[in-house]
Amino acid sequence: MCNEGKRIWNGKRMNPHYQNLVQRLEEISHLNGVMSTLGWDQEVMMPPGAADARAKQIAPLAGVIHERMTDPGLGDCLNELAVVGYAGFAAAEQCNIREALRSYELETKVPKRLVQELAELSSRGHGIWVAARQKNKFADFAPVLQRFLHLRKEWAQHVLPGLDPYDANIDLFERGTTMSMITPVFERLKTELIPLIQAIQNQADQPDTSFLQGRFALDKQEALARRISREIGFDFEQGRMDVSVHPFCGGSHPTDVRITTRYSERNFIESLYAVIHETGHALYEQGRPYELGDLPVSESLTMGIHESQSLFWERMIAQSKPFCQHYFATIRAAFPENLQPVTVDSFYRAINVCKPDFIRVEADEVTYPLHIILRYEIEKGLFDGSIPVDDLPLIWNELTRKYLGINPPDDAHGVLQDSHWSSGAFGYFPSYTLGAMYACQFYRTLLNERPDTEQNVAKGNFAPVKNWLNEKIHHQGRLYTPQQLVEHVTGEPLNPDYFIDYLKGKYRAIYQLA
């Protein structure tokens, strides 16, 4: 499909409206690259004193991008192409037209008043959320949440009037995914994972994690992280690794991908696995088919698919026994005082410890989905009106007890822990667990197609894994919807059984459960 796209690309008979569209879309992509570099700079390099000046630089740039995206000329161009019809275009070109139309509609169907109020509430809401979390007082944040709920429902009516308002919000992050698909899958996860977690908690023989605490020299941590990131495939010629408060993957282009991490002297696992996670995101970005142009077709697909790539490397590969077998000697050599008496097996058990905790971002792979399901059920209830905003702390704590068997001590460890709602991002959370399930299903397919994968990983030969992901997922850009991609790669739609079987098999062995 890609080749077909390219041929027409370089051909002489390009439709003039399409040519016009390509110019406009590439310009928008380049402006977004500038914005993205500024964003990276702000998190990594910028002196704190420059915050005001930077805000003044970003605002007009955001304005220019918005103007380009909502330019009536772009609308005319799309109308002309609608008259011609899709049939004469190659798949990659059809993808560009389809994606341009979607983003144009998302940008232009919403009244200016609503766009402005959403933007204003996002910036004000964040400050209110930070202060409420510090004071442990949900009531201070409740009016922001209430207003966001109202605005996001209104937004949904404008952009996707045919969908339930919560489905429309989910669609923004995970295109084509609806509650009717998520709810039964999450119900199955609950049925299987809650008893598994209870059995793990009841097991007397818990993994020893004491050797993961101590002092771990920062320069050794960084050297190790860089080495592993490079060996699993991150291209430092077209990317960088730096330090920021929260790890992320950014950059301006597949040839300029920037990951970050943070180091703590007392915990090297956290930063190492953050680097592996972000490397997974980065490999997706570096693998995008930009030879098709800086156009929608060469962009990454959705939040859920992106997360499937980071979790693929973090969990399916780096938390596996073969990976530990390959790297443990290197890791022990970096921290001999801490790890001298430790075996590969006890290291593997320690990095896979399962323990319910209050904070989502610190959760292990077994308990994590329940953090997501709890948030999903609350968002669903907020949108259908069955959960009043004021009851959120009570409901949050009740569900945490029910799903994880623990009781949040305060709102900061409960309903106020995540920043998502402070910017009105409803429908984002399910992407994390969809990503985890996609990662598992992709990995299962890889094992079927390349049965020597685990032996390769144990030898530190990661190229076959990376090449497989490049070919099956990264190079596909946006040619498929997430649902189509999963079917195309694995031969079936999202199937939670792979994730459940993986978790049950792995953790029954680690915890020696019957």
SS3 of 258, please?
strand
Tell me whether residue 392 or residue 436 sits nearer to Zn ion (CB atom). 436
The CA–CA distances, whole Å, from 383 to 98, 164, 329 equal: 29, 9, 51
Amino acid at 156: A
Quote the CA–CA distance of 151 and 121 in Å, as a whole number.
10
Tell me whether residue 82 or residue 359 sits nearer to Zn ion (CB atom). 359
The one among 302, 310, 431, 453 contacting Zn ion by CB under 5 A:
310
CB of 326 to Zn ion, least distance (A): 23
Per CB under 5 A, the segment of 117-125, 305-313, 362-370, 399-407 that binds Zn ion is 305-313
Tell me whether residue 136 or residue 244 sits nearer to Zn ion (CB atom). 244
Pairing outcome for strands 239-243 and 256-261? parallel
Could you identify the residue written with the tokens 């990995």? 443
Amino acid at 113: R
Q: Is 279 in the site for Zn ion (CB under 5 A)?
A: no
Amino acid at 231: E
CB of 424 to Zn ion, least distance (A): 20
CB of 369 to Zn ion, least distance (A): 15
Binding-site size for Zn ion (CB under 5 A) equals: 1
Tell me whether residue 308 or residue 453 sits nearer to Zn ion (CB atom). 308
SS3 of 251, please?
strand
CB of 434 to Zn ion, least distance (A): 12
SS3 of 321, please?
helix
CB of 435 to Zn ion, least distance (A): 8
Per CB under 5 A, the segment of 74-82, 144-152, 170-178, 303-311 that binds Zn ion is 303-311
Burial class (CB in 10 A: 0-12, 13-18, 19+), 461: middle
By beta carbon distance, the residue nearest Zn ion is 310
Tell me whether residue 30 or residue 246 sits nearer to Zn ion (CB atom). 246
Quote the CA–CA distance of 299 and 29 in Å, as a whole number.
10
CB 311 within 8 A of CB 437: no
Tell me whether residue 310 or residue 453 sits nearer to Zn ion (CB atom). 310
CB 507 within 8 A of CB 29: no
Q: Which residues are catalytic?
A: 278
The 132-151 contact track toward Zn ion, x by CB under 5 A, reads --------------------
Burial class (CB in 10 A: 0-12, 13-18, 19+), 271: buried
Per CB under 5 A, the segment of 97-105, 307-315, 405-413, 449-457 that binds Zn ion is 307-315
CB of 277 to Zn ion, least distance (A): 6
Q: Hey, how many other C-beta atoms are within 10 angstroms of the C-beta on 207?
A: 20
The residues of the shown chain that bind Zn ion, judged by CB under 5 A, are: 310
